[in-house]
Copies of this chain bind each other. A is one copy, B any other.
Amino acid sequence: MDPTDVAGEPQYRTLLAVDVSEAKAGQRVRLAGWVARRRDQGGVYFFDLRDSSGLVQVVVDPAEVPAARDLRMEYCISVEGIIRPRPEGMANPDLITGRVELAADDLRVLSKSEPLPFVLDARVEPEERLRLEYRFLDLRRPRMRANLRARSRAAAAMRDTLNDRDFLEVETPTLIRSTPEGARDMLVPSRLRAGSFYALPQSPQLFKQLLMVGGVDRYYQIARCYRDEDFRSDRQLEFTQLDVEGAFWGREGVFDTFEAVVAAVVAELRGSSLVVPFPRMTYADALLRYGTDKPDVRFGMEIRDLGDLFEGTEFRAFSAVLDDGGVVRGFNAGARDLSRSGLDALVDRAKALGARGLVSGAVDPEGSWHSSAAKFLSADEVAGLTAALDGSPGDLLLLVADSARVTAEVLGQLRLDLGKPEGHDDLSFLWVIDFPVFDELEGGHLVPSHHPFTSPVDVKEMRERPREAISKAYDLVLNGSELGSGSVRIHDPEVQREVFEILGISAEEAERRFGWFVKALRYGTPPHAGFAMGIDRLLAILQHETSIRDVIPFPKTQTGTDPMTGSPTEVDPDQLAELGISLSEAAAATDDG
């Protein structure tokens, strides 16, 4: 018996699994989905039917419905029958539909399945490479289904919040001119102008600024961006960001808006409300107290500077560093009973992170310090140390003496090693503000701390003391991950010129690289500010995933390949010729490899 036709089409279902309930007992319904589990019990077959909404138990007598005999895992079927309560004591409280079952009297196999490469079971985690090769099966797993759904709902929450605030969603182009940071651009050869190239955008930065010049008051876009970086642990060649910009706007407006956006997403996915406004911390403070510009403030263990305390110390390991312009800092890792080898491991870790050494020891019951360094310190210094680090008996105190940069990196990482909470049940958002305008590379060369379109707080300060100058840039940090960054932009072409000059970009080079953009600044550009937030990372944290690949429908591996489709691939040389390019010899030679 075929399912009822509707306007000449088969009717595959009349109901979703989740809507099968006791209230509908006695009703005849049709469901469609996949065979998720099967068992044979006293000649009667039981199986779970899974659709996008959930699971329903189906009972079928193979004598009555012979097609049931051939069912295998993940066969796609349409099944009709009567909803009825499960027999006494057979209810499954873990299942929304667990008090009922479908007594099927008609079953149609819509599509068979080959044996599966892995089991679709929440309790078994297949190897990731296999999951990516069979992503179309992986996505059937409840966890991945939940992640896809969460991503869709998060995007809706973001858009609703911004639409309510009169932001316009504007699509900026993705075949653009190669940008300043050109080396990381992905290129697209042009056919109509063979030998020339478009670039894929690393962000819509310059186009959104042009929208501000163009009188768009409030802009947003959930934008696909591209960055050809060497893959670090958790990056993708293409990624998605929520991109926002506003005219006649400044940092406070950006913060208020993004707090509302993030709160809406958290309310939607976690069902909890965030405390706004988020706390703020200066970049300088973050580096000093947490050793990083993206502090995880869910836990304490704050780093303290001990330079004043050890000024004039007899301990050579400290005094030499301090005399050399370095710092002595430390933090209280709390009460922990580390063995000798545990402490040695900490020292090794500190050295691997770049420190010359690590001074460690627990606070004695008497308030003194049980450390190999203690004998070089005065009683006052030890007392000062335990006071400065709030040491109670049993607390492990860790100290590093080195350059400010190395000390921050080492203590910041040790703090995370020892204190970072598992998972992301708690959410600690933080604005990091007052970034420097420029970072100094080894050799003294200046590069933009954010990007060269970031406004300095004070142009005169930037001109006179570029290494100390503070910018109007800001980052949003969640549980120690940078979610995004933004700034008040430069809207004065003269300030833009000065920034290029300080960066050592000649007028000619600036014209060649940024001329088309700077030209726009000369036509009544409004003051403007904006922000961009990575959606992949936010979603991963909110969904308790450790990898962003688990919140991206079809991600690539860490080497940029797709095991499912085999991309990237070689292409026809004729097609390349049309684009005015050919494989270079080096590539041709490695083709065999």
Residue-wise, chain A 208-240 has the 8 Å CB interface mask toward B (1 for contact) of 001101111110000010101011000001101
Query: Is A464 close to B, CB under 8 A?
Result: no
Q: 18 A-B Cβ contacts within 8 A?
A: A7-B252, A12-B526, A137-B213, A139-B216, A140-B215, A148-B168, A156-B159, A182-B571, A182-B575, A187-B579, A188-B200, A188-B568, A192-B231, A194-B587, A195-B587, A576-B581, A580-B583, A581-B582
Interface string of A139-164 (1 = CB under 8 A from B): 11000110011011001100100010
Q: Select A152's contact among B170, B522, B526, beta carbons within 8 Å.
A: B170
A520 to B113, CA, bound (A): 10
Shortest CB-to-CB span from A172 to chain B, Å, is 6
Whether A381 is near chain B, meaning CB under 8 Å from some CB there, is no
Given contacts A9-B250, A137-B214, A140-B215, 8 further A-B contacts (CB under 8 A): A32-B248, A76-B524, A113-B522, A151-B171, A156-B163, A174-B224, A194-B586, A210-B564
Residue from the set A32, A523, A552 with the largest chain B CB neighbour count within 10 Å:
A523
How far apart sit A569 and B555, CA to CA, in the bound complex (Å)? Answer: 30
Residues of B within 8 A of A492 (CB): 111
Write the A507-539 contact mask toward B (1 if CB under 8 angstroms, else 0): 000000000100011111111000000000000
Specify which chain B residues have a CB less than 8 angstroms from the CB of A50 in the assembled complex.
Answer: 215
Any B CB within 8 A of the CB of A193: yes
Copies of this chain per assembly: 2
Kindly list chain B residues whose C-beta atoms are within 8 Å of the C-beta of A372.
none
A88 to chain B minimum Cβ distance, whole angstroms, is 33
A173 and B581 alpha carbons, distance in the complex (Å): 25
Q: Which residue of B lies closest to A34 (CB)?
A: B524
A568 to B176, CA, bound (A): 7
Contacts of A516 in B (CB 8 A): 564-566
The 4 closest A-B pairs by CB, nearest first: A580-B587, A139-B214, A195-B587, A52-B217
- Our pick among B139, B178, B525 for the contact of A111 (Cβ within 8 Å) is B525
Q: Are A567 and B177 in contact (CB under 8 A)?
A: yes
The chain B residue with its CB closest to the CB of A251 is: B9
Q: A135-B214, A136-B214, A567-B176 are in contact. Are A575 and B187 (CB under 8 A)?
A: yes
State how many angstroms separate the Cβ of A228 from the closest Cβ of chain B. 6
Residue contact B554 to A207, C-beta cutoff 8 Å = yes
Report chain B residues within 8 Å CB of A34: 215, 524
The reply to whether A215 and B52 contact each other, CB–CB distance below 8 Å, is: yes
Q: Do the beta carbons of B196 and A491 come within 8 Å of each other? A: no
Q: Are A188 and B188 in contact (CB under 8 A)?
A: yes
Residues of B within 8 A of A113 (CB): 522-524
Interface residues in A25-56 (C-beta closer than 8 Å to B): 32, 34, 50-53
Name A residues whose Cβ lies closer than 8 Å to a Cβ of B: 6-7, 9-10, 12-13, 32, 34, 50-53, 74-76, 78, 110-114, 116, 134-140, 144-145, 148-149, 151-152, 155-156, 159, 163, 168-178, 182-183, 186-200, 207, 210-211, 213-218, 224, 226, 228, 230-231, 237-238, 240, 247-252, 491-492, 516, 520-527, 552-556, 559-562, 564-572, 575-577, 579-584, 586-588, 590-591
Chain B residues, Cβ within 8 Å of A555:
173
A224 / chain B contacts, CB cutoff of 8 Å: 171, 174, 224
A553 touching B148, Cβ below 8 Å? no
Q: Which residues of B contact A580 (CB under 8 A)?
A: 583-584, 586-587, 590
Q: Which of B172, B491, B560 contacts A192 (CB 8 A)?
A: B560
Residue on B nearest A145 in the bound complex, by CB: B215
With both chains docked as a complex, state the minimum distance between the C-beta of A315 and any C-beta of chain B, in angstroms: 43
CB-defined contacts of A190 to chain B, threshold 8 Å: 560, 568
A174 → chain B, closest Cβ, in Å? 6
Q: Which of B32, B116, B215, B577 is A526 in contact with, Cβ under 8 Å?
A: B32
Which B residues are in CB contact (< 8 Å) with A192?
Answer: 230-231, 559-560
Query: In the bound complex, what is the Cα–Cα distance between A177 and B191 (angstroms)?
Result: 19
Is A188 within 8 A of B187, CB to CB? Answer: yes
- When the two chains form their complex, are residues A111 and B524 in contact, meaning their CB atoms are under 8 A apart? yes
* Chain B residue at minimal CB-CB distance from A168: B152
Which residues on B sit within 8 Å (CB–CB) of A566?
177, 516
Q: Are B523 and A137 in contact (CB under 8 A)?
A: yes
Are the CB atoms of B524 and A74 closer together than 8 Å? yes
Distance (whole angstroms) from the CB of A233 to the closest CB of chain B: 15
A457's nearest neighbour on chain B, judged by CB, is B8
Of A74, A148, A218, A240, which is in contact with the most chain B CB atoms at under 10 Å from its CB? A148
Q: Which residues of B contact A491 (CB under 8 A)?
A: 110-111
> Would you call B577 and A586 a contact (CB within 8 A)?
yes
Known: A138-B214, A163-B156, A581-B584. A527 touches B12 (CB 8 A): yes
Residues of B within 8 A of A210 (CB): 135-136, 554, 564
Nearest residue (CB) in B for A16 is: B217
- Measured between alpha carbons, how far is A176 from B250 in the docked complex, in Å? 39
A522 to B521 CA separation, bound complex (whole angstroms) = 57
Q: Contacts A568-B196, A590-B195 known; A556 to B211 CB distance under 8 Å?
A: no
> Could you tell me if B582 and A584 are in contact, using CB atoms closer than 8 angstroms?
yes
A4 CB to nearest chain B CB (Å): 13
In the assembly, what is the distance between CA of A250 and CA of B152, in Å? 23
Chain B residues whose C-beta falls within 8 Å of the C-beta of A554 in the assembled complex: 172-173, 207, 210
